[in-house]
A and B are shown apart, each in its own frame.
Chain A
Amino acid sequence: MTPQMTVPATAPRRKPFNRERRRSNLLTVVMWLCVAYFIVPLIWLFISATKDNPDLFSTFGLWFGHDFNLFANIHDVFTFQDGIYLRWTLNTIMYAGLSAIGASLLATMAGYAFAKYRFPGDKALFSITLGAIMIPLTALAIPTYLLFSTAGITNTPLAVILPSLVSPFSVFLMRVYAADAIPDSLVEAARMDGAGEFRIFWQVGIRLLGPGIVTVMLFTLVATWNNYFLPLIMLNSGELYPLTVGLAQQEATSAAGGGAQALFSTVITGSVLSIIPLIVAFLYLQRYWQTGLATGGVKG
């Protein structure tokens, strides 16, 4: 990534031109057929959430079963083991929320400093951050577990949140974003007016960095929300699990078969419910993450 850092400032976004240009029917058909590959599995999942266990086995996957069981399934999801699903959901929201806020704050401050200040060691520190993007986080999970267990914080929320606070890629993204979004002249003008460096950051910087911060927050939120490996290693009591680990354990019980088979519809409905908040977040915030990603991709 380093060599591409010197790409010139973002070109103005292309104006929509030639709006009435030819549409291609062939391309339209090909594209919508491809979309089927991405969507059919999800449609199957949503339809399956409306079936009870016998219907899952006896009716065709892409059409509804004999009974519409969605509400009964949702009821089962929330009453399973005294409502542990709700607990998992709250845990997930807490882990992902705190990690996203913390990671974005750290990354925004560091990215802002790298973009707007020249200080001894800045190049070296930034290179170290870039190099760290390559470090596979899972290679760190096992030693982190051992260190945490010495410190006695495994099987606590901290064990999941602390490692999620480091996001070198977010620092990189914020630096690129801040370099463009905050004009040096504005910072200089604020200094002339006698504003301190921290006030400039809080009052000028943060405001202009809005879309960048939303992007970083959304992606760290998703990363923690979806993380399975880290909480799997760190946690061993069911009431601390996030949704990912909880659902996986529930599935394992369900697949182990026997009398527990009635769980399939519960696992499927639980999975559907766990996806919905993220889909809503992505749809709702699309304006932000699409421009934010553009920054990273163009200059990456």
Chain B
Amino acid sequence: MAHGIKRKQHLAAYAFVLPFFVVFAAMLVAPLVYSGYLSFFADRLIGGVSFVAFENYLRAFQDPGFLAGLGRTALFLVIQVPIMLGLALFFALALDSGRARGSRALRLLIFLPYAVPGVVAVLMWGYLYGKQFGLIGQITNALGLAPLNLLSNSNILFSIMNIVTWTYVGYNMIVMYSALKSIPADLYEAAEIDGASQWRLAWSVKIPMIRSAIILTVIFSVIGSFQIFNEPSLLLELAPTAITQSFTPNFYAYNLAFVNHDINYAAAIAFLLGFVIMIVSYVVQLSTQRRERLS
């Protein structure tokens, strides 16, 4: 009897997860496997499509365009992610301390850019940067400063970092702020009464308590950085010399597939990119775990 009930419940559970996993298999697993499969072939002028084993991957490792794109992404990761998450953490702690006036309005206004579609954000910043009627140019002009070309080869990466920071600080802030809100107050009420400063409180109580939320934001930022596509794709028109075909790995994969029609190599690049992301996210998790064990 009890066995029959258990069985009925198992069946119900499978029925609940089935629809998700059917779509999961079709829309996630199948393309992933297909991409892996494609990456082992090459389409040549002479001889057509043939199995080439790891040749596409070897080619990628020697492809200066791909490597430069990967390096650019790594640079982006090392500079932009700490700035963005540092700002988000500062804002979250400041709002949580309740010492700034108008906290509620501040929170919503900082979050607002997240509701702006990426495409609109890039178009808008493109206009702001641009020479034609850019606000930044108007301001530097009015102040009598030398015009700053934000779309030049050496500045474009930083201009893109700014767009991404602008869009995502608020989202990350909300994740951290929500985590801060769920720390039980008595944990640091005592410290506050003892006269511990807000900085000390943040550093020794609050930040350790929201570690898991912070790690979550780091991992999502890593994944996001490696997938940058909108910015180079939409700024191309404004900065045609600064943005190369392989500006970011994702943009490169797109160009390989849809401009060069080199599907197999594009699949290899996409697959490699996924692999790199998994490794970096894994390293982030692993390093934070070790720190936890040591402390």
Contacts and interface: CB of A to CB of B under 8 A. Distances in A.
Q: Chain A's interface: helix, strand, loop or mixed, by majority?
A: helix
Nearest to A293: B178
A113 B16 contact: yes
A18 B233 CA distance: 50
Interface string A44-82: 110010000000110011100000000000000000000
B83 to A, nearest CB: 12
B161 interface: no
B28 A38 contact: no
B19 A21 contact: no
A229 B230 contact: yes
Interface residues of A, number: 111
Interface residues of B, number: 105
Given A125-B21, A136-B227, A146-B263, A112 B16 contact: yes
Interface stretch (B43-51, B61-69, B102-110, B146-154): B102-110
B72 to A, nearest CB: 16
A299 B212 CA distance: 7
Given A27-B100, A106-B20, A298 B213 contact: yes
A190 interface: no
A197 B8 contact: yes
Contacts of B270: 138-140, 142-143
A15 B120 contact: no
Interface centre among A30, A107, A139 (most CB of B within 10 A): A139
Nearest to B216: A300
Interface string B171-189: 0001110110111110001
Contact of B112 (A61, A110, A165, A279): A279
Nearest to A92: B117
B273 interface: yes
Interface stretch (B52-60, B74-82, B274-282): B274-282
Interface of B: 8-10, 12-17, 19-21, 23-24, 26-28, 30-32, 34-35, 38, 87, 91, 94-95, 97-102, 106, 108-120, 123-125, 127-128, 132-135, 138, 142, 166, 169-170, 174-176, 178-179, 181-185, 189, 192, 210, 212-213, 215-216, 219, 223, 226-227, 229-230, 233-234, 237-238, 250, 253-254, 257-258, 263, 266-267, 270-271, 273-274, 277-278, 281, 285, 289
21 contacts: A14-B185, A23-B101, A44-B128, A109-B17, A117-B10, A122-B13, A137-B227, A138-B227, A142-B35, A142-B254, A162-B27, A168-B28, A201-B16, A228-B118, A228-B119, A251-B123, A293-B178, A294-B179, A296-B216, A297-B175, A300-B212
Interface of A: 1-4, 7, 10-15, 17-18, 21-24, 27-28, 30-32, 34-35, 37-39, 41-42, 44-45, 48, 56-57, 60-62, 105-107, 109-110, 112-114, 117, 119-120, 122, 125, 129, 132, 134-140, 142-147, 162-163, 165-166, 168, 171, 197-198, 201, 222, 225-226, 228-229, 232-233, 243-245, 247-248, 251-252, 255-256, 264, 267-268, 271, 274-275, 278-279, 281-283, 286, 290-291, 293-294, 296-300
